[in-house]
Amino acid sequence: MSRIVNPVLTGFHADPALLRVGEYFYIANSTFEWYPGVELHRSKDLAHWEALPSPLRERRLLDMEGERSSCGVWAPCLSYGDGLFWLVYSNVRTWNAGPWKDCSNYLTTAPSIEGPWSDPVFLNCSGFDPSLFHDDDGKKWLVNMEWDYRQSADPEGPQFTGILLQEYNAVAQKLSGPVRKIFTGSPIGCVEGPHLYKRNRWYYLLTAEGGTVYQHAATVARSPSIEGPYVIHPHNPLISSRDRPELRLQKAGHASWCETADGRTYMAYLCGRPLAGTKNCVLGRETAIAELIWYEGWPYVKGEDGGRQHYPADSFEAPLQNAGTASPAPAMEQRYAFDGPAIHGDFKTLRIPADPERYSLSERPGCLRLHGGQSPVSPYGQTLLARRQTDFSFEAETCVDFTPHSFQELAGLCWRYDERNQYLLAVTHDETRGRTLTVLSMIAGRFSREEGPVLPEDGPVWLGLSVRDLSGVFRYSTDGAHFPDVGKALDSRVLSDEFDTLGFTGAFVGMFCVDTARYEAVADFKYFLYRR
């Protein structure tokens, strides 16, 4: 039997929700402040994953303007029932600005995984990570974690106070009946990310615990009644990397499972791969898969030797129908042209959709024209188009035609984690030197700049980034052939959840245009290249 190598979705793909409908498996992932919201993939074999259009790609479904970094879409849940796909998700407005978390939870449905998705239905805001369960008697139940702001004054306080259950009335499109707290978690603490399942008349509650750091875990409990009481797995946690520094896959937790057509159970879970010799997971939290085996009515992770274990494995056994396949190697090089009708789905914007008037493929045919937006630290109106970093070592390159007339106009290549931690290679203007290159850095919110070479007065400039594990360096060219380095070495560790304040995303690389004088400057990008 062939084996599939983990992770199956590399780079920032957190909080996976796994679903099977017919011959396809689906995974939905969190996207936080990146737009469009909710990343979707499908596969027939758990090895080869096809990206699908994100469901929350219209402002009527998701508007995150003004939200801080790592707010936005948390832990979506994708389910299927009554001939529809059901997607529930949080739009977290605030989470790190005081004791409160503003967590609006919504539901949208679609007859096809590619849409159209219905107008969102507001569910509740008592806590984040909503999940919808379709019982075999036709009832539908929402579960979400509860956040108690009163405990936040105590650093060790139990703000995660349990999992709430309430029935959802699909006809009235609202929650109804009493709210019940069905689970307060295990001694691991920080119970969140709930999913409900039913198997052989038992209700199983799968939750995330331990926070999204190195003590992360997935906990499972069961009950003969959906309302509980729920008894915790006798060998909890179900999966975790805690206290096992030798493992390649760290941070294992926040999971969901589904069954194959032949009755096997597979679980998707998040993990992190730190840079060698560090605790920094620059690629963010990724998605891995494990097969579960059942023993005395309880699930266990199936180890590479076929036995029961509680920690992640580097690979998992392929489904029976998938014999002979293995994880595909990603393309060595992805070159994105801007001569089509739409921007490639790998690219993301911040908080709101890419307005065609600011991200234009038609104003200069064959180019992506970016109109200058707000500064690189603004939670409003940045003009930025970026894709995930999916490899520890990679190269990125673009060619930009941009003639700035002020130091307030700049465009170029960015390598970023969030507004507080990012590197920018900018074509800009200096009053005495003319058109120049400048390296701008934000590290833990502290700004610095390093002047680069003077450029010709006009004409294209090639900008590049070469990253090798722990460090990167910008480079440039005026002829497209010779690429000297620009500036000092860049520390990769800066672009991770573990650096500075806690965050939940991962590193991105892309193109930007800023005009803090008039929002009128334009930069034309001829292509974008990502090579591992």
The set of catalytic residues is 15, 192
Half-sphere exposure of residue 121, counting CA atoms within 13 Å on the CB side? 20
DSSP 456-480: -SSSEEEEEEEEETTEEEEEEESSS
Three-class DSSP category at 153: helix
Query: Residue 479: which residues within 8 A CB-CB, separation 6 or more?
Result: none
Count CB-CB contacts under 10 A for residue 231.
10
Three-class DSSP category at 149: helix
The Cα 224–Cα 231 span in angstroms is 10
List the end-to-end C-alpha distance of the chain, in Å, as a whole number. Answer: 29
Residues 169, 128: contact at Cβ < 8 Å?
no
Q: If you search the block for the tokens 């978690």, which residue do you land on?
A: 185
Q: What are residue 445's phi and psi, to 5 degrees?
A: 85, 0
Query: Would the CA dihedral through 127, 128, 129, 133 be positive or negative?
Result: positive
Q: Which two tokens stand for residue 286?
A: 């990724």
**Nearest alpha-carbon partner for 378 in 422, 425, 419, 426:** 419
